[in-house]
Amino acid sequence: MKPKILVTREVFDETLDYLAQHCEVEANQQDAAYGPDVLAQRLGDKDGMMCCLTDRVDAALLAACPRLKAVANIAVGYNNIDIAACTARGVMATNTPGVLDDSTADLAWALMLATARRITEVESHIRAGQWTGWRLKQWLGVDVHHATLGIIGMGRIGQVIARRAAGFDMKVIYSNRNRVAPEIERRLNAEYASREDLLARADFVVLQVPYSAETHHLIGAAELKTMKPTAILINSTRGGVVDDAALVEALKDGTIRGAGLDVFENEPRLNPGFLALKSVVLAPHIGSSTEATRRAMAMTAAQNLVTALSGGTPPNLLNAEANQKR
Ligand code: DGY
């Protein structure tokens, strides 16, 4: 008998076709997230779940789904899943690392360039029919080339962001829980710095750490005050790594120059203070959102799930200890 699975949000046809070859699939192709009660009810008789960062997988949900053996997140970040609770119940949890590194790094760069050169601000000006002609001192931005790029979090995506900096002749400094191997530093021409030093020196601060209790409000009022008044902050990693209320204040009073943001606390209800600020470029959590990458993420999650439910060890297993619990 095929294992029963729930796919909680809309996915691509080829993902469903692949899943249907191996599983009995119930799919929510409406693309509106289920509330916790509906989710628990639909998942109650399922062996597996393919979910997104909009689904909370916590101890209460797991308790209501005794058959569940595997949860496959269509994302590299997995702060929506209580991994310890999954492990305690012997539920394997997986994510989708690797396939989205380049697209996510590209988006961080898009935000950097757009914020530095005020692209969304000037575009609104043109669209509003207000452009009256060229002026020498109009819409002055800041240079990205030859500036200092500070990357907080030098994992896979941080390293791709750093690699792209060579084309802009930038100085790259980074901070990370652990210093990366010397050959990586050499290849990326990246200098290790303490977070304090990085914040004080960087013209562009790019955050690339996962969200956790440890990184909650990693950048708040105190940290923003230590940055250059000309600095630009980029958050394309996870809402909550930045204290958004503190960032709104810092942008209002000129503590820093600007911010490029793809993620927010309490998405999609972002702090309304951002909307009134011209110095901020806003995107709706689209870091990995290219056609090819989202298809690859969905297929990676599907393969993780099928492997887990066929008794194998999925390539992107987050909690190897879960296997011992079963
Ligand atoms: C991720 O993979 O964590 C992204 O935020 C989802 O788009």
User: Which mutation among 76, 207, 241, 300 tests ligand 1's pocket best, with the greatest number of atoms within 8 A of CB?
Assistant: 76
Q: Can you give the pLDDT of all 326 residues of the chain as single tens digits? A: 999 999 999 999 999 999 999 999 999 988 899 999 999 999 999 999 999 999 999 999 999 999 999 999 999 999 999 999 999 999 999 999 999 999 999 999 999 999 999 999 999 999 999 999 999 999 999 999 999 999 999 999 999 999 999 999 999 999 999 999 999 999 999 999 999 999 999 999 999 999 999 999 999 999 999 999 999 999 999 999 999 999 999 999 999 999 999 999 999 999 999 999 999 999 999 999 999 999 999 999 999 999 999 999 999 999 999 987 76
| Residue 143 DSSP symbol | -
Residue bearing the CA closest to ligand 1, atom 1: 75
From 261, 287, 256, 153, select the one nearest 214 (Cα to Cα).
153
What is the 3-state composition of the chain as percent helix, strand, coil, each rounded to the nearest 5? 40, 15, 45
DSSP H or E segment with residue 121? helix 119-127
Residue bearing the CA closest to ligand 1, atom 4: 75
Are 256 and 227 within 8 A, CB to CB?
Answer: yes
Distances in whole angstroms, Cα of residue 21 to Cα of each of 17, 26, 155 = 7, 13, 35
Atom of ligand 1 nearest to the CA of 52: 6
pTM beyond 0.75: the answer is yes
From 204, 205, 201, select the one nearest 144 (Cα to Cα).
204
Are 241 and 214 within 8 A, CB to CB?
Answer: no
